[in-house]
């Protein structure tokens, strides 16, 4: 359940605080649907709050209370190997699906060279799956919330790709070097 206490970022526009939903290329989007490059992002709850933003929060809360999603009822995702292998809950209670991420260890103690001990997928692949799935949902049941989710997933993928590119440029990609 989301309440005012859960809101961590506000966008102050002309002295009024709006609930910040996301920022992309310096453009902010708020719970009331404002899309603007202006304003100041703050973490303290402003005295003056946008009524539409607060109402959006309330509607969200009412919807959630009336129809709690499964994730809220019981999250049974299990960590099988920290950072590498997870068991994901099946929605209808079928057996869990495991997901293995690529797992590498140094070839020798203290070495920066890595060898693969478990082949597996990457964060980027998982994001590509989620983006495709959300776009498919969005083509059938378009809504602003899904559009924001897609934007943020794409932004996450962009930052991961940037990180990989930077590491390649520095010649440290695939090595245990910061």
Q: Least Å distance between CB 16 and Zn ion?
A: 7
Q: Tell me the per-residue interface mask from 52 to 91 with Zn ion, x by CB under 5 A, - otherwise.
A: xx--------------------------------------
Residue 2 contacts Zn ion per CB under 5 A? no
- CB contact set of 12 (below 8 Å; sequence gap of 6+): 18, 39, 40, 41, 42, 46
Residue 28 contacts Zn ion per CB under 5 A? no
From the list 51-59, 60-68, 138-146, 164-172, the region that binds Zn ion by CB under 5 A is 51-59
Find the binder of Zn ion among 30, 39, 57, 150 (CB under 5 A). Answer: 30
Give the span between the Cα atoms of 25 and 129, in whole angstroms. Answer: 24
Give the span between the Cα atoms of 161 and 153, in whole angstroms. Answer: 12
Give the span between the Cα atoms of 176 and 112, in whole angstroms. Answer: 5
Q: Token pair for residue 99? A: 């997901």
From the list 46-54, 71-79, 85-93, 101-109, the region that binds Zn ion by CB under 5 A is 46-54
Give the span between the Cα atoms of 61 and 1, in whole angstroms. Answer: 6
Find the binder of Zn ion among 20, 50, 127, 153 (CB under 5 A). Answer: 50
Applying CB under 5 A, the residues found at the interface with Zn ion are 18, 30, 32, 50, 52-53
């Amino acid at each position: 359940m989301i309440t005012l206490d859960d809101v961590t970022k506000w966008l102050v526009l002309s002295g009024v605080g709006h609930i910040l939903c996301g920022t992309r290329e310096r453009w902010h989007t708020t719970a009331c649907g404002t899309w603007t490059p202006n304003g100041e992002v703050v973490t303290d709850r402003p005295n003056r709050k946008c009524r539409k933003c607060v109402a959006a929060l309330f509607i969200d809360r009412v919807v959630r209370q009336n129809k709690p999603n499964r994730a809220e009822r019981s999250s049974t995702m299990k960590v099988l190997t920290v950072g590498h292998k997870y068991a994901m809950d099946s929605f209808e209670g079928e057996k869990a699906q495991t997901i293995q991420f690529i797992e590498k260890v140094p070839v020798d103690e203290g070495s920066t060279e890595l060898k693969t001990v478990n082949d597996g997928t990457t964060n980027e692949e998982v994001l590509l799956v989620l983006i495709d799935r959300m776009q498919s949902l969005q083509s059938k049941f378009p809504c602003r919330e899904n559009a924001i989710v897609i934007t943020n997933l794409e932004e996450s993928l962009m930052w991961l790709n940037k990180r990989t590119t930077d590491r390649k440029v520095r010649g440290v990609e695939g090595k245990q070097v910061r």
